Structure formats: C-alpha cells, structure tokens
Structure 1
Amino acid sequence: MPKLLLHHVSLPVRDVELSAAFYEDLFGLTRLPRPPFGIPGVWFGCGDRQIHLVANPSGTYRTTPTVDIADVHFAFWTDDFEGMVTRLERAGFSDALPEGDAKRMLLSRDSVAGFPQLYVLDPDLNTIEVNAAPM
C-alpha cells in the first residue's frame, strides 16, 4: 500500500482577502507562494501541511451560523489550548453567545474524546476545530 499523508485542506470562500485575514490574525498562518491558477485564492503553511482558500462566489453549502460538529470540518492541533481560547475570546468568540451567533464557540475542556476541543466558524461558515490531542 502506498504511504499517504494529508497535504492540504481546501476551503471555498466568498471573499479571499477577508478570509485570509481571519486565518492570519486568529491562527497566525503565513502565506505561501501560489501558482497563478484561473481563480483567486491564498495558500497558507500550517506546520508541514497547508490550508488553501479558493474563491467561490457561492461560498459553502452551509446557510446558518451554527457550529455542527457532525458537519465537515478540519482541526488545528495546539500545544497551548488555553492560549488559543484566550486569543479567540479577544477576537469576540465566546461559548456564552446564543445559538446562531456566528461568533459562538463550542468549548469542551474535558471532551468525551479525552482531550480539550473547541469549534468556531470562519467568515464563510466553515467549521474549524482546535484541539490539544496527544501527539
């Protein structure tokens, strides 16, 4: 069997620069060179993996600003979970916000998975998990 590793996750976004700023500001991702494809986009480095944002005027199929952990999502791992919680809270995310608020954070410091997890939405309602899973 050939060895496989995840290379990148690609996300559809309506406004490339708005979404790029979100990922740069909240997660500290840095832009990578990107070939001149026929559609706008931005590539980010994340450790030895990548996140690709691709312009899609229709955005995602999601229409409601509600985090759904059973929906498509990807996860960032962090070695400073509480630091990430603080960073997100400073950006206006909170687990105290009502359901349907785009800045509502689902937060579980003692999740059934056995490690801390949180979930937030990006500007296009893509679901992002941040966790401190054992490495």
Structure 2
Amino acid sequence: MTNLSLNHFSIRSLEIEKTTKFYTEIFGLTVGPRPDFPFPGVWLYNGDDSDWANAVLHLIAIDKNDPNGLKQYLGERDPASLYGSGGVDHIAFFAKGLEAKIALLEKLGVPCRQRTVPAIKLHQIFVDDPNGIVIELNYPAEEKEALDAKAA
C-alpha cells in the first residue's frame, strides 16, 4: 500500500467564469488564495482557505492575449482537446444530503443522471461541468430509499 491521498485536480478551461460558478454553486467549493502563477486561474477550496491542502480544485485559465506564461509553466495543449475529460472518465466524490442536492440541481436547471448500485450501497448522481467533465457524487443508498419512501 502506498502513502497517497488526493491533493487536488486541475481543469484547464476556456470557460473559467462558468466553471468557477458551477463548482461553487453546485458543490459548495469556495474561491480562495492562489499563488501568483504566470497565467490566470482560480483555486477552489473545500473548507478553510487558509490551508493550501483544502484547495481541491485548481482551475487553469488561458490568457488568449498572452498564452506564453501557461505554455512555459505547464506546456501547450490544443484548445480542441480541452472539452470532455480526455483519458479521464470522471471524477467522483462521496457526499451526503441527496435531497438538497437534487433540489439544487433542479433549481439551477442542471441536468443529471442517477442510478443506485445496490452491491456497494450507493446512489450516484452524474453531472457534466461546463467543460464536459463528468462529476460523480456518491450518496449512501439509504438516503435515496428515504427519499423514495417520502415521495410514496
């Protein structure tokens, strides 16, 4: 077994404002401090933004007027390759509060796909972020059962 834990994931986006809004509104991440890199971006935090370890999502923007800072720091990428998740199929999180999340998605008009996986006792919601990246939220299956019972 290795001594690894997920630090953060990064999304290089042509839609930085929409992407920031998506992750703050839907997932409750908050915008926080970011080092002064030679390219624009936003760091989103899950928890206290005074702790860099809570910066779970690094959004990378492309300055169309000066793309060299990003190119020199992280390398060049074809803008056509930035939609969808390429070799990464999806990013998944454990979550609680299924009923509130479904209500929020409906209120914001964000389409989602749902399914329950009885073998692992999870109810899953899948949403696509503004960059076409699939985000999976895994809720305890009993939350879905309680919601269904409430609706019956």
* TM-score after normalising by structure 2: 0.66
Q: Which amino acid aligns with 1:62?
A: G
Larger mean Cα displacement after TM superposition, 116-125 or 74-83: 74-83
Structure possessing the higher relative contact order (Cα contacts under 8 Å, 6 or more residues apart): 1
Higher CA-based Rg: 2
Question: Mind listing any 5+ residue stretches in structure 2 that lack a counterpart?
Answer: 48-53, 65-78, 142-152
Summarize the Cα distance change of 1:121–1:76 in structure 2 as closer, same or farther, 3 Å threshold.
same
Contact 2:13 2:59 in 1 (8 A): yes
Q: Which amino acid aligns with 1:91?
A: L
CA RMSD of aligned residues (A): 2.6
Larger % of helix: which? 2
> Is 1:51 paired with 2:73?
no
For 1:125 and 1:43, the matched residues in 2 are separated by 19
Contact 1:6 1:49 in 2 (8 A): no
> Is 1:60 paired with 2:82?
yes
Q: Which amino acid aligns with 2:133?
A: N
Note the C-alpha offset of 1:83: 1.4
Alignment correspondent of 1:74: 91
Summarize the Cα distance change of 1:133–1:13 in structure 2 as closer, same or farther, 3 Å threshold.
farther
Note the C-alpha offset of 1:49: 5.7
Contact 1:60 1:126 in 2 (8 A): no
For 1:119 and 1:2, the matched residues in 2 are separated by 29
Question: 1:18-29 maps to which residues of 2 (within 5 A)?
Answer: 18-29=18-29
Alignment correspondent of 1:118: 125
3-state SS of the aligned residue for 2:117?
A: coil
Percent identity over the alignment is: 33
Alignment correspondent of 1:97: none
Give the number of aligned pairs.
Answer: 117
* TM-score after normalising by structure 1: 0.73
